[in-house]
């Protein structure tokens, strides 16, 4: 089937709280497509009724992605256009969508982004933490073993860390973060962004842990952001230099530099400027 007879899969961002954040383009696409694939049809019906749109909906969520994908692809191939939405924010960002997007791309069906809000970018943009480089971790594993391994891997990460978290697990998560990243690491928690109880808390992991576990009225949705390792430990320069000097006595400067980077977790640039490349 030639490309111009297929429909288009629109990946549509929807509000993360405030309905006014639905973009005019998203509204237009939701109105124009033949079908909307929604993570939760009831919730999406609510959004559609707020903009006066009535549309056929089909459920597409984490438990039926594999079954629904061929159904959606068949419709797209028969020239029906489909909008994919999740409950809130950007589809595929800790939300369903990857299976159908991949399948559509493989079938040469146009996949078009209608970007909108995401808790990830909304939270980062008000955090005051470095946004030059960051790592999006989504939800940490629930089970203690895998969670420990994940956090151990992240303990030396120098980029800003971003996690999604639910209210039930927030205290445990803050405790685990303290344990692995250290109680003094600077962090920011963005809660209920764009909603009535929107708030942004800043402090060390220890301070935030205390504050969140003491607040029994704490409710809502949260993004937890933690400063990267380097930013909070500028005092460790002497340790970086010490490791480098020890190594440089035994091995060539270039190798000593590379090893210092992996042992201390400091960036290559930082090791270089501290030691002036040996
Ligand atoms: N796809 C969504 C996005 O682009 O942000 C994320 C979906 S994920 C299943 C839901 C998580 O996103 C929540 O548990 C919370 O961590 C975060 N989240 C969603 N809305 C939020 C809001 N208004 N304020 C803070 N965090 C939010």
Domain match, 113 and 14 both: yes
pLDDT digits (tens, 9 = 90+) for 221-231: 999 999 999 64
pLDDT digits (tens, 9 = 90+) for 69-108: 999 999 999 999 999 999 999 999 999 999 999 999 999 9
* Dist. CA 84 → ligand 1 center (Å): 17
Domain membership flag for residue 2: no
Q: Which of residues 96, 117, 138 is at a domain's end? A: 117
Domain match, 14 and 110 both: yes
Domain match, 131 and 207 both: yes
Domain match, 64 and 107 both: yes
Domain match, 111 and 176 both: no
Domain membership flag for residue 164: yes
Domain match, 124 and 103 both: no
Domain membership flag for residue 132: yes
Domain match, 125 and 99 both: no
Q: Is the pLDDT of residue 45 over 60?
A: yes
Domain membership flag for residue 3: no
Number of domains within the chain: 3
Q: What is the CATH number of the domain that holds 112?
A: 3.40.1010.10
* Dist. CA 222 → ligand 1 center (Å): 7
Domain match, 222 and 127 both: yes
- The answer to whether the predicted template modeling score (pTM) of the entire model surpasses 0.85 is no
Burial 34-72 (b: 16+ CB within 10 A, else e): ebbbbbbbeebbebbeeeeeebebeebbeeebeebbeeb
Domain match, 161 and 202 both: yes
Long-range pairs for 218-221: beta carbons < 8 A, 24 or more residues apart:
218/167, 218/170, 218/191, 219/167, 220/167, 220/191, 220/192, 220/195, 221/16, 221/119, 221/166, 221/167, 221/191, 221/192, 221/193
Domain membership flag for residue 4: no
Ligand 1: residues within 6 Å at CB?
16-17, 86, 88-90, 93-95, 118-120, 164-166, 190-195, 221-223
Q: What is the CATH number of the domain that holds 143?
A: 3.30.950.10
* Dist. CA 252 → ligand 1 center (Å): 48
pLDDT digits (tens, 9 = 90+) for 103-122: 999 999 999 999 999 999 99
pLDDT digits (tens, 9 = 90+) for 209-254: 998 877 655 789 999 999 999 644 444 788 889 999 999 999 999 8
Which ligand 1 atom minimizes the distance to the CA of 117?
4
Please give the order of strands across the beta sheet that includes 160-166: 134-139, 160-166, 221-226, 186-191, 199-204
| Full residue range of the structural domain in which residue 251 is found | 234-275
Pocket test for ligand 1, best of 91, 119, 136 (most atoms within 8 A of CB): 119
Domain membership flag for residue 131: yes
Q: Which of residues 75, 91, 117 is at a domain's end? A: 117
Residue percentage of the chain with pLDDT more than 90: 80
Domain membership flag for residue 72: yes
Q: Is the pLDDT of residue 137 over 80?
A: yes
Q: Which of residues 58, 87, 117 is at a domain's end? A: 117
Domain membership flag for residue 270: yes
Domain match, 128 and 109 both: no
Domain match, 129 and 212 both: yes
Domain match, 195 and 148 both: yes
């Amino acid at each position: 089937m030639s490309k111009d007879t297929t429909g288009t899969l629109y990946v549509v961002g929807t509000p993360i709280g405030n309905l006014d954040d639905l973009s005019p383009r998203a509204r237009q696409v939701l109105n124009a497509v033949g079908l909307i694939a929604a993570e939760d049809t009831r919730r999406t019906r609510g959004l559609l009724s707020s903009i006066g749109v009535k549309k056929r909906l089909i459920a597409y969520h984490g438990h039926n992605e594999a079954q629904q994908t061929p159904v959606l692809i068949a419709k797209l191939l028969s020239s029906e256009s489909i909008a994919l939405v999740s409950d809130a924010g950007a589809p595929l960002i800790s939300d369903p969508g990857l299976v159908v997007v991949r399948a559509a791309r493989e079938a040469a069906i146009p996949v078009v982004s209608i970007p909108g809000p995401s808790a990830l970018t909304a939270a980062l943009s008000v955090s005051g933490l470095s946004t030059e480089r960051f790592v999006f971790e989504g939800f940490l594993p629930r089970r203690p073993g895998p969670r420990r391994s994940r956090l151990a891997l992240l303990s030396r990460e120098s980029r800003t860390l971003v996690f999604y978290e639910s209210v039930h697990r927030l205290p445990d998560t803050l405790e685990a973060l303290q344990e692995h990243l250290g109680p003094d690491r600077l962090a920011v928690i963005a809660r209920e962004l764009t909603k009535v109880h929107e708030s942004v808390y800043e402090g060390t992991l220890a301070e935030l842990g205390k504050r969140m576990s003491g607040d029994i009225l704490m409710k809502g949705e949260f993004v937890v952001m933690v400063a990267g390792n380097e930013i909070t430990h500028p005092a460790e320069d002497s340790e970086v230099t010490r490791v480098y000097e020890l190594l440089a006595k035994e091995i060539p400067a270039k190798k000593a530099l590379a090893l210092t980077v992996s042992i201390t977790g400091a960036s290559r640039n930082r090791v270089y400027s501290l030691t002036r490349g040996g």
